[in-house]
Structures are given as C-alpha cells and as structure tokens.
Structure 1
Amino acid sequence: MRAEHLQLVDEIRQSISLLRRHLDWDNALARLDDLNHYAEDPNFWNDAEKAQTQMRERQQLEDSVEAVRRLETGLSDTIELIELAEEEDDAGVLADAEETLRELHADAMKRQVGTLLSGEADANDTYVEIHAGAGGTESQDWAEMLLRMYSRWANAHGYKVEEIGYNAGDEAGIRSATLVIKGPNAYGWLKTESGVHRLVRISPYDSSARRHTSFASVWIFPVVDDSIQIDINESDVRVDTYRSSGAGGQHVNTTDSAVRLTHVPTGIVVACQNERSQHKNRATAWAMLRSRLYEAELQKREEKAMADAASKTEIGWGHQIRSYVLQPYQLVKDLRTGVESTNPQAVLDGDLDTFMEASLAHRVNAEAEEKAAANA
C-alpha cells in the first residue's frame, strides 16, 4: 500500500481505538445485552418513564456500537480491495477504493470529535474570563491579545461573542475581561483552554528592546440554564457595587452600576459591568456565579474520577498550559500534548482548533486509562 493509504488507515485505526475506549467497549456490549433483555420483559412498559429512558439509552448504545462496527468492517474490506487492485494493477477499482478510504477517514474523524464533546455541559454556551499576570503593561497587553484571540476564534466558528466585563490596563491592554461565547458546544470546545498562557517576545513597551516573559490566566466555565439547579445561600454572598470602566460610552461610568459578587465559602468572585442598569448587571452576575459553582462541581467530579486529580492543577494559576514564543524564534507549544505551531500569528488570530482537538483527546484518553486502571 502507498504511504498516503497507510497514513489514512493508521488514523482510522486510532479513531476506532479511541471510540472503543470512550464507549468502554466490553461494558457497553454487556449493558446493551441487559437493555435488550429488559425490553423483552412483558412488564417493561408498566413504568413508562423508566422504559422510555432505557429505550433511549439502548438506541444510543446501538447507534454507537454499530458505528464502530461499520468502521471496522469498512476498513477491513477497503484494505483488501486496495491490495487486490494494486496487485492486479486495476486503476479504476483502486480509485474507487481510495475514495471509500477517504470517506471512512472523514466519518472516523467526525465521530472522534463527537466523543470529545460528550461531557455533561459541553453543549452549553460558555464564559471566558481572562486576567493579566504580574508584569504591568506587558502582561496587560498580553491579556488583551488573548481576548482578541478567543474572540476571533469564536467569530470564525459562527459563535456570538458578548463582552460583559472589561477592566482596562494602566497604559494599554486589560487587567481583566469576561466574554460570553454563545453557540453549540461552545463550552465543550473551549473547556481545556483554562490555565496559564505564557508569552515570550521583545516588548514594544521596553525602550531597551529587551525580551520579556509575560503570563495571563484564562478561566472557562459553562453557562448553566434553568434545567440545572444550583442552590446558593444568599447570606454566603457579598455584593459590591462600583463604577464601570472601559468601553461602553459616557453613561457607563457615571453611576455605581457594576456589580461584583463574592461567594465567601469558596472564594469565587464574579463581576459584570456591561449594562448601564445595576439591576441587569446584578442578574448577569448571579447567573455567572451559578455557572462558576456548577463548573466547580464538575471539577470535583472529575477529580474524584481521576486518581491524579490532574484537572485541579490544570486550572491553577501556577500551571502553564501553552507557551507562545515570538522572539528569538516563532513557536506556539501546548505543554500538555506537545502539539506545536511555527505560525504564532495564525494562532493569535484564532487558529486554535488543532490545539483544542489534541487537548480534548488527551483528556478523553486520560479518563479512559483511569477507568481501565480502576477496573483492573
């Protein structure tokens, strides 16, 4: 087989392996057998609500299992056809087999991404919160570069971007900012971007043109809807109001319309200032607080499921997830997955999909390995 065929075959096999791990294959087959057995029970529909839930689960499992089996069978048949066509030097059959292989590859990649975006809140809209690190104007400019990067990524994918918090820097850039990114799977795509981002460059703010290293933190948490109940004791929350800063027109700074909420038991702080009305800012801030508490609960569940509790360190200020080097060479490197790009400008313009897909796959693989270890 040609090198290009071998590469496609290898990538399809890797996707099939990932799909099997994600399904927890043996347990999925056993569960499907159980559900089929339940459905044959004459009393199955006595509890209609339970029966409907189990039927939905059975259909989802059947679809997932059959999809993997179709990929496996299709790949095996196509490999045989390609080898036969090459052996007999049949260009027509070979062309058809190559097209089938490409179609299988596209299907495998699509299903692989689907497994990466199957978390509890992955389908939700998301908040993106950015904070400059120590370092004054240089770090504040870096934070604004990240704000622009995520806005451009969202716009390129057809998502709606709203700025709900903006704290301007001393001379340039931002001290902090908060976006809401709205669209299908917004949180699922962005959730692994939480962490510390490091920039190395010749600072335009240094008259001696020295190289500087700057840091900024990114926090991603899902927007929760009314179907998710988050109970908050109002006595646990400190409410502060203050004058807004940054973009928004002359009226935005004239009253104490901005609202900051501090959840005392957890130390979680959220703020909103994009509206002139304190009432609207307060409502948005409470929605953000509910989302932050929900995200914290998701993190607790993940830590409990993973023995090394890696997710906790991934969102800590001290944990760098990606390095962006502009001088003396050009390189963006994800420190978790090893994925690199030698085109930092494209990345800073929002070309993030390769990094996101790799980090999502890394998380799914880690979860699968942890499950396997627990069941061993």
Structure 2
Amino acid sequence: MRAEIVNVTDEIKQAISLLRRHLDWDQAVRRLDWLNNKAEDPNLWNNASEAQKLMRERQQLEESISGVRALEQQLSDNVELIEMGEEEGDAEIVADAENQLKALKAEANRRQVEAMLSGEADANDTYLEVHSGAGGTESQDWANMLLRMYTRWAERSGFKVELMEVNDGEEAGIKSATILVKGHNAYGWLKTESGVHRLVRISPYDSNARRHTSFSSIWVYPVVDDSIDIDINESDCRIDTYRSSGAGGQHVNTTDSAVRITHIPTGIVVACQQERSQHKNRAKAWDMLRARLYEAELKKREEAANAEAASKTEIGWGHQIRSYVLQPYQLVKDLRTGVESTAPGDVLDGELDEFMEAALAHRISGKPDAAVSDID
C-alpha cells in the first residue's frame, strides 16, 4: 500500500477513535438500547413533550453511532479491496478503492466537526436571511447569488429548504430573502456564516465592463424548539400586510397575504409570504420572531454577538467575513480563518464545507481571526 494511502488510512482511524471518545461509546450504545426499549413502551406517549424529547435523543444517538459504524465498515472494505487488487495486479480496483478512502477521509473530518456541534441550539433547524448592501442592482444580484449558493449547499448536504420570503430587486436579483433550512444540526453548520460577504467582479450590468465590488450580508438564527418559552408582548409589535412578490404565479399576488412583523423594542423585523393564506403567513412570522428573539438571548448568554452584531451595523467595508474574487483573478478567501479556494465557481455552487469546518473549529478553539491581508 502506498505511503500516501497509509497516511489517509491512519487519519481515518484517528478520526474514528476521536468520534468514539467524544460519544463515550459504550455508554452511548447502552443509552441507545434503553431508548429503543423505551420507544416500544405503549405508555411513552402519555406525556407527548417528554416522548418527543426522548425520540429526538434516540434519533441523534442512532445517527451518530451508525455513522461511526459505517466509517469503520467502509474503511475495512476499501483496505481489503486495495490488498486484493495489489495481490491480483488489478490497478483499477486499487485506484477506485484509494479514491473511496480519500472521500471517506473527508467524511470522517466532517463528522469530527459535526461532533463538536453541542451548543444549545446547534441541532435545530435554522432560518437564513440574505440582505443586499448599497449598490443597487450589483449588490442585489450578488444577494441572489448567495441565496442560490446556500440553497445548493443545503440540498447537497441533505437538508430541506423552504423559501419563506423574498423581496425582488428593481432590475435583477433580490433586496432580501429568508429561507428555512430543515435538518439535524442545520443551525450548527450555518451559524458561522453570519456576516458580510464581498464580491469583486467585472459587472455584467456595466456597459464599460468595469470591475465592481458588491456587499451582501447573511444572518443565521435557529428555529426555536417547542420546549423553549419566549414571551412576546403583542403590544410591542407592529404587524403589516402586503402583496407577495416573486415566484408563485398570479394567485400569490392578488391579496395582501404577506405578513411583516416589527418588534419595536429591538427593531427586529421578520416577514413571511410563503403561503397564500395570510393567517398561515402570520403564524409563521410569529415563529420567526420568536426564533430571532431567542437567538439574540442565546448570543447574550454565550457572549458571542461578534460577527452577527457587526453584520447588522453596516453592509460594507470592515465587516466582511469572506471575499469572493472573480476578476482579475479567481479566489475565495475567508478573512477569519485564512482558508482559500481558487475555484469560486464551485464555492458559489454550494461547495462550502471546507470553509464551514474551518470556521467552526476556529470558533470552538477561541483563536483570534487570521491575520490576512485584504483582497483588492
């Protein structure tokens, strides 16, 4: 076996060992056995909220344990294939198994990072808002590109995406949009993406083909779990209704079905136009407001209102977390971790795992932001 593949195999083994240790493997297996037995108890659902809590724990443990076992099985299978291919002189089998091991290493690294997602709301579904900065059509087009990027990432990662609200730009792109990303650890993965994202390119809207810099911000906040009580005084809120915009056909736009709620004490604004029914949009907007207020309180308790707070003050220079340069050269650079990619097309198509994993590890380590020079 080649030295490179031996190193890959050793790294996968080390990752599996760390995952087992993080889970406290023997205790986790015993706990899952107990939860499986509990799930068969007909009296479990006499207390619905407690039952839901136990079932969520069961699902999470099951996914974690089965994920580690799958890594172990795939590692064993591919090592055996390499050994067999080398004995038989079948280079194609060896090459295929080596490629599988490299992909397995990436999966093991991802699971290691995911194992660190143990914050209070990390496991929850999440809302993601996109807001265009100053610059009219340029930044509105950039906001739309970011919306597509995160939607592509979520779908590739096995999450479900629902468009909650969109405010179209005058000529192209969007002024703002909100999506709901549903799936285990959705908030945990996306929480480090809050902040300002900067684009440098030759503008398709400039007849003189000049280079433009555009800014848009991302704001991520978790869906509030049913067990978390958030009190909202309705007298502190202003509710506006308006006609929906964007895709959906003529029926979406014929009535004032969209709902916007402004929480006056905090200035938080949420909007929903997903449904044709104003009543349903109003209910979902209240859920979104509860989530925003919870996220604000969570950040206070965690003393982590850094990138998120900065992103709401000004969408422009000095607040960006990542730069995407398409011209005169091609580079995506995270200004916190120093992680780079020379394939911005792939990043904009949703290949964000490397950036997210580095940002999560960076945040957990508590290290200062990388000392990286700005990108012209």
The 8 Å contact of residues 314 and 321 in structure 1, kept in 2 or not, is answered as: no
Secondary structure of 2:244's partner? coil
Contact 2:15–2:109 under 8 Å retained in 1: no
Alignment of 1:226-265 (within 5 A): 226-265=226-265
Q: Distance in 1 between matches of 2:281 and 2:214?
A: 31
Query: Contact 2:15–2:112 at 8 Å: present in 1 too?
Result: no
**C-alpha separation between the residues in 1 aligned to 2:341 and 2:146?**
16
CA gap of 1:117–1:197, structure 2 versus 1, over 3 A, is same
Q: What's 2:159 paired with?
A: 159
Match of 1:203 in 2: 203
Task: Output the CA distance in 2 between the equivalents of 1:111 and 1:157.
Answer: 12
- Please state whether the residue corresponding to 1:122 is helix, strand or coil: coil
- Provide the aligned C-alpha RMSD in A: 3.5
Residue pair 2:126, 2:220 contacting (<8 A) in 1 also: yes
Shift of 1:141: 0.4
| 2:185 equivalent to 1:190 | no
Deviation at 1:5, TM superposition (A): 5.4
Cα distance 1:106–1:285, how it changes in 2: closer, same or farther (>3 A)?
Answer: closer
In the aligned structure 2, how far is the partner of 1:6 from the partner of 1:221? 39
Q: CA deviation at 1:114?
A: 3.5
1:108-163 CA-partner distances (Å, limit 9, x unpaired): 73662233321111111111110110001010000000111111111112211111
C-alpha distance in 2, partners of 1:283/1:332? 39
Distance 2:291 2:107 in 1: 34
> Unmatched 5+ residue regions in structure 2?
24-53, 55-60, 66-85, 88-97, 369-376
Partner residue of 2:144? 144
1:277 Cα offset (Å): 1.1
In structure 2, how many angstroms separate the alpha carbons of the residues matched to 1:314 and 1:7?
39
What's the CA shift string for 1:166-221, capped at 9, x where partnerless? 11101000001111111111111111111100000000000000000000011111
Task: Mark the CA change 1:107 to 1:173 in structure 2 (over 3 Å): closer, same or farther.
Answer: closer
Q: 1:325 to 1:19 in 2, by over 3 A?
A: farther
Structure 2 Cα separation of the partners of residues 336 and 16 of structure 1:
29
In structure 2, how many angstroms separate the alpha carbons of the residues matched to 1:18 and 1:366?
21
1:126 equivalenced with 2:126 (yes/no): yes
Query: Counterparts of 2:337 and 2:110 in 1: how far apart (Å)?
Result: 21
1:361 aligns with 2:337: no
- Quote the Cα distance in structure 1 between the aligned partners of 2:128 and 2:273: 15
- Contact 1:299–1:312 (8 Å) recurs in 2: no
* One-letter amino acid of the structure 1 residue matched with residue 288 of structure 2: M
Q: Which residue of 1 aligns with 2:216?
A: 216
In the alignment, the residues of structure 2 paired with residue 342 and residue 251 of structure 1 have an alpha-carbon distance, to the nearest angstrom, of 44
Would the aligned equivalents of 2:196 and 2:321 in 1 still touch at CA under 8 Å?
yes
**CA distance change for structure 1 residues 19 and 264 in 2, over 3 Å: closer, same or farther?**
farther
SS in 2 for 1:217: strand
Q: Which amino acid letter does the alignment assign opposite residue 358 of structure 1?
A: A
Contact 1:189/1:356 (8 A) holds in 2: yes
> In structure 1, what is the equivalent of residue 83 of structure 2?
none
The verdict on how the C-alpha distance between 1:228 and 1:140 changes in structure 2, with shifts beyond 3 A counting, is same
In 2 relative to 1, CA 218–367 (structure 1 residues): closer, same or farther, beyond 3 Å?
Answer: same
1:180 aligns with: 180
What TM-score does the superposition give when structure 1 sets the normalisation length?
Answer: 0.70
SS in 1 for 2:366: helix
What letter matches 1:329 in structure 2? Answer: Y
| CA–CA separation in structure 1 for the residues paired with 2:148 and 2:276 | 24
Quote the Cα distance in structure 1 between the aligned partners of 2:148 and 2:111: 30
Contact 1:128 1:178 in 2 (8 A): yes
The residue aligned with 2:288 is 288
Once residues 218 and 312 of structure 1 are traced to their aligned partners in structure 2, the CA distance between those partners, rounded to angstroms, is 9
1:217 partner letter: S
User: Contact 1:248–1:274 at 8 Å: present in 2 too?
Assistant: no
- CA radius of gyration, larger in: 1
Contact kept in structure 1, 2:201 and 2:327, CA below 8 Å: yes
**In the aligned structure 1, how far is the partner of 2:363 from the partner of 2:239?**
36
- C-alpha distance in 1 between matches for 2:341 and 2:160: 27
Distance 1:367 1:116, change over 3 A: farther
Q: Deviations over 1:215-244 (max 9, x none)?
A: 001111111131111111111111111111
How far the C-alpha of 1:4 sits from its partner, in A, is: 6.5
Q: Which secondary structure does the structure 2 equivalent of 1:279 belong to?
A: helix
Contact 1:201 1:328 in 2 (8 A): yes
Output the CA distance in 2 between the equivalents of 1:301 and 1:5: 45
Paired with 1:197 and 1:12, the residues of 2 have a C-alpha distance of 36
